[in-house]
Amino acid sequence: MPGPGPTAGPSDDTSTAPAASVTGPDGPGRGTAAVLGALTALGPLTTDLYLPGLPAIADDLVAQPAAVQLTLTFSLFGVAAGQLIFGPFSDRFGRRPPLLAGLVVYTLASAVCVFAPTLSVLIAGRFVQGAAGAAGLVIGRAVARDRFQGVAMLRFLASITLISGLAPILAPIVGAQLLRVTSWRGTFGVLTALGLLLVLAAFGALRETLPAEARPGGGLVATLRTMGGLLRDVPFLGLMLTSTFGFGALFGYISGSSTVLQHAYHVSPQTYSLLFGANSLALVAMTQLNGRVLARRFTSDALMLAGLGVAAAAGVALVLVTAVWDLGLPGVCPALFVMMGSMGVVLPNSSAQALSLVEPQAAGTASALLGTGNFLCGAVVAPLSSLGGQPSAVLLAVVVLACGVLAVAAYVGLCRPRREPAVAAGG
């Protein structure tokens, strides 16, 4: 089990100065970025491809919209639980075996969703699908920590996001078009085929990045001790909470936008997919700008404060245009666009800062804690915009604002001024 991490030098602290571009011995590697980008895209695809079909699922399975949104909630619970499994396993057994196992289970769970006869079966299938699909998400971040530090890590994460970021842009558009030629079950058929393709791609192209001699021992007790050490460290905990609430704002929008825009504002599935794609483009564009330009010119701390401030302001604007002025779709769309763009700064910087505080052999566990917090918050906020049985733009706005304010409070209260780097493992 790894002991306390050494005090990081200037190149390791991404908060106080633009960090040096430190890479692993093998260099960046476009092949690795392409495969990991496709694997991390699996999460957004799993979430977003079927979103235009939520109303159809409610009609077909004779369920209330709030009940159908549980398919998203339990998928997020699955992703949270899966990261707690696959993250520590990847520290103990290497990155490759847990990833391949997760992809196989994901493919089987997707097939169950295709033939789900009831909403309960669909919810169960979505839970397993989310848990197994978490392997690519958590192990992708761990691989980034294995190979890179500082700005190099941000650039590698940006490369992955460039690929995976196409998923939330294209998924609702593809999902809406699929509904023209097939039912919502066809979208899960596509996910089943995608899972099978990724099993083959990962088996053939992804190599191990955590050598056997660098893997900690000690079993479950050591893993829990490592988690406890990280959670007791105030800077790491603050960054984890900042990422968690930022992700909550993002998923408050993702989960509620389909029913709110289609039911409250009466947009078609095709129009919704275009609006969703435009907002996702803002997220991807800002992620790329952050990793390739802004991170070289500004400190990570300055970028975090700016991103969090914009996110909170977008939340305030969203509440005003829905609850006070009732400006309709022309008022809601710009606020959501700005909020999504701000997350392109907040989420990668908070992850990079947190991972820079741990040693590589604890990166899987640290990545699991970050991802679990994110998706637990996402699961909690997912059904809130439809409380009372009907989708509400006001409730969606309140969720986004509340999460944005909590993210600001976590970062300002726990991460500034930054102290010594986190303990990489418990003890």
Q: Specify the range with the lowest mean pLDDT, choosing from 20-24, 81-85, 397-401.
A: 20-24
Range of the domain at 286: 223-417
DSSP string, 245-314: HHHHHHHHHHHHHHHIIIIIS---HHHHHHHHHHHHHHHHHHHHHIIIIIHHHS-HHHHHHHHHHHHHHH
- Return the closest-CA partner of residue 284 out of 1, 41, 12: 41
227 with 200, same domain: the answer is: no
Total structural domains in the chain?
Answer: 2
pLDDT tens-digit map of 106-135: 999 999 999 999 999 999 999 999 999 888
113 with 137, same domain: the answer is: yes
* Predicted pLDDT of residue 193: 93
Query: Any idea what the CATH number is for the domain that residue 276 is in?
Result: 1.20.1250.20
Cβ-based neighbours of 213, under 8 Å, separated by 6 or more: none
In a domain, 34, yes or no: yes
Is the per-residue pLDDT at 2 higher than 70? no
Residue 149 sits at φ, ψ, to 5 deg, of -140, 165
Average pLDDT over residues 314-318: 96
Which of 216, 232, 252 is the last residue in one of the domains? 216
Average pLDDT over residues 84-98: 87
pLDDT tens-digit map of 153-200: 767 766 666 666 566 667 777 888 888 888 899 999 999 999 999 888
pTM of the model: 0.73
140 with 271, same domain: the answer is: no
183 with 64, same domain: the answer is: yes
| Cα(87)–Cα(20) distance, integer angstroms | 27
Is the per-residue pLDDT at 333 higher than 60? yes
pLDDT tens-digit map of 341-374: 999 899 889 988 898 888 877 888 888 898 888 8
* Predicted pLDDT of residue 106: 96
In a domain, 12, yes or no: no
Is the per-residue pLDDT at 24 higher than 70? no
Which of 200, 216, 232 is the last residue in one of the domains? 216
Average pLDDT over residues 384-410: 87
What single DSSP character describes residue 356?
T
